[in-house]
Amino acid sequence: MLIIIVDDEKELHESMKHIIVKRYPEVTFEDYYSPRVFLDRLRKRRIAHTVGEIALIILDNLFQAEPGGETGIQALPRIRKQAPQTPILFLTANDNAEELESITQYDMVHYQHKPMEETQFYFKLKEILRERSKTQLLGVKEEEIRNLRHSLQSEKDDDVKAQKLYEAYAPATEQAVASADVHEDLTTLERTLKADYENLDAKAIKFLASADVLFRHITDKEMDYSPVAIGYAKGVEYIMLKLFRHKGLVDKQTKVMMGEMVTHVYRDKNSWPQGFVRLISSVKDKRNSVAHTNGISRQEVEFLRKLLFETPLGEYRNLLAYFSEAMIA
């Protein structure tokens, strides 16, 4: 996680870094002492497509080292042009209402009065990084994902499409669930799921918990929720493969994917609980939606989640409860 500090006081750089690394030891920093130098470097990042590496820009307003130079407020429009989605923490010693209004007209720009206490600064930092974790993930590599979806239009095998999209999203998903604020919730959710579905193994729980924690943390309803849908579906696919092996339908060396397993279930529907074919087919259909041009909406993922956690299946309270019991039957 990269945090950039733009301030002309070296002591302030060091004090902020000291506070940050105590809470976020994985953070790296870049130090700049004028908006001009920082903007030059930011333009180069924009050209190199590495602006997304920046988790936060901490920007001061007044720069005494450059008399007559531009202020942070004056630089803000150009910074936002180069880094439109990067959170900015603006440092100011003023309570000027007009100044504060000019700052807050931008999305994801927060302000902090100087001087500031350590606790006050930490809670502001935590608030910003938590909000970033809720909005950042699904915007990662948008152009790459669009190009991939376009290239997959001629692919007839839905399993292949889903796997390629899963592989494309996996690094960003893993990074998101590993972030400090999300990971704490992930650990709690894994314990809860393991208690509820005790016969599912750790890998199955990890798939489901990772998808569910992202669903809970990402709040922008206009985003493409494909990584969440793929995560849920990947968990179901993994569990079904384990169940197929448990039932002797495939050997331990054979790996089959969801589409093929659902086809098998449909052909032998009487061997499965009533309603299972309908449920598992619906899960597969929602998974397949991720390959569509616009991906999948939060509303569709809410429906997918209900299929797993809330829809009864015969005597079982939901699909996952059936999977858990079937593993020892």
CATH, residue 45: 3.40.50.2300
If asked whether residues 170 and 319 sit together in one domain, one would say yes
pLDDT computed for residue 180 by the predictor: 61
pLDDT computed for residue 147 by the predictor: 87
Instruction: State both tokens at 146.
Output: 């669009």
Pick the closest to residue 88 from 131, 139, 118, 36 (CA basis). Answer: 131
pLDDT computed for residue 224 by the predictor: 83
If asked whether residues 301 and 183 sit together in one domain, one would say yes
Question: Could you tell me which residues come within 8 angstroms of residue 245 by beta carbon, excluding any fewer than 6 positions away?
Answer: 251, 252
Residues spanned by the domain of 263: 141-326
d(CA 192, CA 174) in angstroms, rounded, equals 20
If asked whether residues 159 and 71 sit together in one domain, one would say no
Burial 206-230 (b: 16+ CB within 10 A, else e): bbbbbbbbbbebbeeeebbbbbbbb
If asked whether residues 27 and 86 sit together in one domain, one would say yes
Domain boundary among 135, 158, 176: 135
If asked whether residues 203 and 309 sit together in one domain, one would say yes
pLDDT computed for residue 96 by the predictor: 66
Q: How many domains does the chain have?
A: 2
pLDDT computed for residue 61 by the predictor: 84
What amino acid occupies position 289? Answer: S
If asked whether residues 200 and 257 sit together in one domain, one would say yes
Domain boundary among 135, 167, 190: 135
If asked whether residues 177 and 124 sit together in one domain, one would say no
pLDDT computed for residue 48 by the predictor: 85
pLDDT computed for residue 277 by the predictor: 96
Residues belonging to the chain:
329
* Residue whose token pair is 């809670």: 123
* Three-state secondary structure of the chain: CEEEEECCCHHHHHHHHHHHHHHCCCCEEEEECCHHHHHHHHHHHHHHCCHHHEEEEEEECCCCCCCCCCCHHHHHHHHHHHCCCCCEEEEECCCCHHHHHHHHCCCCEEEEECCCCHHHHHHHHHHHHHHHHHHCHHHCCHHHHHHHHHHCCCCCCHHHHHHHHHHHHHHHHHHHHHCHHHHHHHHHHHHHHHHHCCCCCHHHHHHHHHHHHHHHHCCCCCCCCHHHHHHHHHHHHHHHHHHHHHCCCCCCCCCCCHHHHHHHHHHCHHHCCCCHHHHHHHHHHHHHHHHCCCCCCHHHHHHHHHHHHCCCECCECCHHHHHHHHCCC
If asked whether residues 99 and 193 sit together in one domain, one would say no
If asked whether residues 184 and 236 sit together in one domain, one would say yes
What amino acid occupies position 239? Answer: I
pLDDT computed for residue 67 by the predictor: 58
Q: pTM for the whole thing? A: 0.64
* Residue whose token pair is 């590495």: 50
Q: Which residue ranges of the chain lie beneath pLDDT 50?
A: none
Question: What average pLDDT does the chain have?
Answer: 88
Domain boundary among 135, 156, 185: 135
Pick the closest to residue 214 from 161, 166, 174 (CA basis). Answer: 174
If asked whether residues 205 and 239 sit together in one domain, one would say yes
Instruction: State both tokens at 16.
Output: 């902020």
d(CA 184, CA 153) in angstroms, rounded, equals 38
Residue pair 3/27 in contact by the 8 Å Cβ criterion: yes
pLDDT computed for residue 88 by the predictor: 92
Question: Could you tell me which residues come within 8 angstroms of residue 140 by beta carbon, excluding any fewer than 6 positions away?
Answer: 52, 172
pLDDT computed for residue 154 by the predictor: 93
Distance between the two ends of the chain, CA-based, in angstroms? Answer: 46
pLDDT computed for residue 307 by the predictor: 97
If asked whether residues 209 and 270 sit together in one domain, one would say yes
d(CA 37, CA 138) in angstroms, rounded, equals 31
pLDDT computed for residue 177 by the predictor: 82
If asked whether residues 262 and 149 sit together in one domain, one would say yes
